[in-house]
Each structure stands twice: as structure tokens, then as C-alpha cells.
Amino acid sequence: MMAWYFWMALAALLVCALQFIVKLIRLVKRGAPKDLSTPKGKVSAGVLYSATVAMMPQNKESAYLHLPTYVAGILYHIGTFLSLLLFVWIFVAFAIGIYTPNDTIAIYPEYLRIGHIVAACILFVAAGSGISVLIKRLINKELRFFSSFDDYFSNFITTAMQLATAIFLLYPQTIIWYCVVMTLAFLWMPVGKTKHALYFFAARYHLGFFYGRRGVWPPAKIH
């Protein structure tokens, strides 16, 4: 029997997933632009390029001109995906009895300890990157100029999610805090700018559609 805090986090995950599903259905229903012009290139090739080569750091000034921020961003996102995967794993592990909730202390087998330590280390690095991104937003007057509460809170809650996961992996007695943070993160994710988790993919698709159709992507070789 799982404790209340776990049900709470699961319910939040469900709400989050449902909201993303609704957004996804709306995006799919609205679909790609109904373009009546005669194509010059292939949409499929453009979308593939958009999702792969165009994303490479050597092809983006936002990456190669800002390497520290780019690396921090990549690590941060690795941490986010790892946190989400670990939440699913932790839930499954509890459900099938690998982890045993004992009042407020989660008990897990010794053989998982090394895995927990490795994952926690990755998450600490990721959270450190998240904190650096947050500090940059706080001290850079240009970023502050067009940032709202959402920008700070989205950064904060995502970093908190990674930290809470890392701490839980090392100190299972923090499970209640872990579930509370995950609950907040799940509730915020589809509301705040964290929803780019979905729209990012749609944006890459639209770029691939636009540039692919016009024969811009994949680019012709000029040298």
C-alpha cells in the first residue's frame, strides 16, 4: 500500500500528462500549415535535418558563441529527463516491491546503492547547471528585463526537482519532500514555460516544414 505522498505525486503526474496530451491533440488537430505554394524541397528531409544536424552546436551561434551556457543547458536538460525517468522508475520499484515504503522511510536493496550514487552525482551536476542558469538570469540585466515570475519559478522548480531526486536517492527518508517537490513540478510543468518540453518538438517540426519545403534545409554545399 503506497503512502499519501506518493498518491499525491502520481495524481500531479496524471494532471500534468493529461494537460500535455490535450495540448498535443490540439497541435496535431491544427496540424501543419496548409501551404498552397509549389514545394522546391522535401518536408521530410527538412524535418529530419531540423531535428538532427541543425541542432548540432557547430551550427548554432546560441551554442558555439555561448559555450558555457550551452553546456550548462545540456547538462540541465539531461538532469531533467533523468529526474523524470527516475520518478517513473521509483514508482514502478515501489509498486513491484523493490523499494519498500516504511512509514516515511523508503527502504531499498543494497545492490541499488551504487546506481543511486551515480544518478545522484549526475543530478547534482545538472542542478548546479540549473542554479548557474538561474543566477545568470538574476544578475544579467538584459535577461531580467524580459523575465517574468514564470521564468524564475520554472527554473527554480526544475532545479528543485533534480535536487530533490538526488537527495532522495542518497537519503530515502526525504521521500515526503521528494514527492512534494515532484508534485509541484508536475503541476507547474504544463502551465509555465516548462511546457516547451512539448512545444520544442513542434517548433523543430515547423522549422523543418518551412525550410524543407523551400529547399533551404538540408542546405546545398557551397564550397
Q: Which residues in this chain contact another protein in the complex, by CB under 8 A?
A: 26-28, 30-38, 40-41, 50, 54, 59-63, 65-66, 69-70, 73, 140-143, 145-151, 153, 191-193, 195-196, 199-200, 202-207, 210-211, 214-216, 219-223
| Residue whose CB is less far from another protein, 42 or 116 | 42
Evaluate whether 177 touches 5 at the Cβ level (below 8 Å).
Answer: no
Shortest Cβ 123–another protein spacing (Å)? 21
How far apart, in whole angstroms, are the C-alpha atoms of residue 46 and residue 206? 9
* Residue 105: φ, ψ to 5°: -120, 125
Choose between 116 and 206: whose C-beta lies nearer to another protein. Answer: 206
Query: If we measure between CA atoms, which residue out of 107, 79, 114 comes closest to residue 93?
Result: 107
> What is the C-alpha to C-alpha distance for residues 132 and 124, in angstroms, rounded to an integer?
12
Residue (50 or 162) nearer to another protein, CB: 50
CB of 9 to another protein, least distance (A): 22
Strands (E), the chain: 100-102, 105-107
Q: How far is the CB of 66 from another protein (least distance, A)?
A: 5
Place of cell 496548409: 34
Q: How far is the CB of 193 from another protein (least distance, A)?
A: 6
Pick the closer one to another protein by CB: 6 or 76: 76
In the complex with another protein, the residue whose CB is nearer, 113 or 196, is: 196
| Spatial contact of 116 and 170, defined as CB atoms under 8 Å apart | yes
Smaller CB distance to another protein: residue 33 or 115? 33
Closest CA to 162 of 129, 209, 133: 129
Judged by beta carbon, residue 65 or residue 114, the one nearer another protein is: 65
Residue 197 CB, shortest distance to another protein, in Å, is 10
In the complex, least distance from residue 183 CB atom to another protein, rounded to whole angstroms: 18
Query: Phi and psi dihedrals of 124, rounded to 5?
Result: -65, -40
Query: Residues, the chain, total?
Result: 223
Report the nearest approach of another protein to the CB of residue 157 (Å): 13
> What per-residue string of b and e applies to 158-188 under the rule 16 or more CB within 10 Å gives b?
bbbbbbbbbbbbeebebbbbbbbbbbbbbbb
